[in-house]
Structure 1
Amino acid sequence: MFWLVIGFFICQRLIEMFVAKRNEKKVKAIGAIEFGANHYPYMVGMHAAFFLFLIGETWLLNREPSRFFLLLLVFLLATQVVRYWALCSLGTYWNTKILVVPNAMIVKKGPYRWLKHPNYVVVAIELILIPLLFEAYITAILFTCLNGWMMMVRIQTEEKALNQYLLN
């Protein structure tokens, strides 16, 4: 079960990187400007390290699936609905990088009607719930803290870029 769940999320991340690269080419062709390039490699590294730590903690400490596994998995899968709703709402503008097309309109449809950064909320939930599926508490705590720090940097950078270059 562990490898099925982890494999799903690793494949999801790899597919998202492919989609992000494709979207990056499209929006750069219409004048997108990149922000936060200096912190981007750290974010990618953090996400890669998350899976390595999760695998390591689960394997080295012989972690078992949680007795709440099914409940946590159902909630985790529900967050994926929000993830894809957010990604589809942004369409070509969705990316793992901060790419802003000057004078474009801020997207205010889908979950963006209620939350400014719904995908970041999903990622925060994932970084807690995926490890909790397998009682990997060290990974859950460590990467929740690292992600909190990363989101402070990233959201501040993103908001500054959006406010400077987009139309409300």
Structure 2
Amino acid sequence: MPYFLLIVAVAAERLAELIVARRNLTWSLARGGRESGHGHYPVIVVLHTGLLAGCLLETYGAHRRFRPALGRPMLALVVASQALRWWCIATLGHRWNTRIVVVPGTDLIRRGPYRWIRHPNYVAVVVEGAALPLVHSAWVTAGTFTVLDALVLRVRIRAENAALTELVHDA
């Protein structure tokens, strides 16, 4: 039951992200923001929904046992990834989104975690995607999500880098 509650909490966090993202999308579009790379967005939604469903289906369907030596460090990584994600959201403010939206005339953010890493939010996604299933030994879900997420992030990061390059050239 505690693992189920963890998955519900992560799902609630995702809904909070979507609320913030929708608000920020409205803000960005009102300032001339342009969305790019939107073709892969539905795949991301399905993949992340599948991660949460896979965690539950594998854990309870395959009767995976909680293994404290694995589960506790993975839980710490899940918490750390959430902290990093919300640090990214706080740092980008209105410019953070689950979509790729660039507002012309704005500068690249180079503070917070962006001082050190170009895409820290994706670090959080990768860590969480591997760690969340492993909290309760759902290794098939962890492996499957990690491989599929790597493929999607490859497309996503290319699209985002292209959009950010456009932003730098517009400045």
TM-score (norm 2): 0.94
CA-CA distance at 1:60 after TM superposition: 1.0
CA-CA distance at 1:53 after TM superposition: 1.5
Which residue in the other structure is 1:83 paired with? 85
Which residue in the other structure is 2:51 paired with? 50
Structure 2 runs not aligned, ≥5 long: none
CA-CA distance at 1:36 after TM superposition: 1.0
Query: Are the counterparts in 2 of residues 35 and 157 from structure 1 also a CA contact under 8 Å?
Result: yes
Which residue in the other structure is 1:15 paired with? 16
Query: Are the counterparts in 2 of residues 90 and 107 from structure 1 also a CA contact under 8 Å?
Result: yes
| 2:168 maps to 1:154 | no
Q: 2:143 aligns with which of 133, 138, 141?
A: 141
Which residue in the other structure is 1:2 paired with? 3
Query: Structure 1 stretches (4+) deviating beyond 3 angstroms?
Result: none
Q: Secondary structure at the match of 1:47?
A: helix
Which residue in the other structure is 1:26 paired with? 27
| Aligned sequence identity (%) | 36
Q: Secondary structure at the match of 1:31?
A: coil
CA-CA distance at 1:70 after TM superposition: 2.2
Give the partner amino acid of 2:47: M
Q: Secondary structure at the match of 1:99?
A: strand
Q: CA RMSD in A?
A: 1.2
Query: Are the counterparts in 2 of residues 65 and 134 from structure 1 also a CA contact under 8 Å?
Result: yes
Give the partner amino acid of 2:65: E
Which residue in the other structure is 2:37 paired with? 36
TM-score (norm 1): 0.96
Q: Secondary structure at the match of 1:62?
A: coil
Which residue in the other structure is 1:104 paired with? 106
Q: Residues 44-79 of structure 1, C-alpha deviation per residue, up to 9 Å, x if partnerless? A: 111111111111111110012222222221232122
Rounded to whole Å, the distance in 1 between the matches of 2:156 and 2:102 is 14
Structure 1 runs not aligned, ≥5 long: none
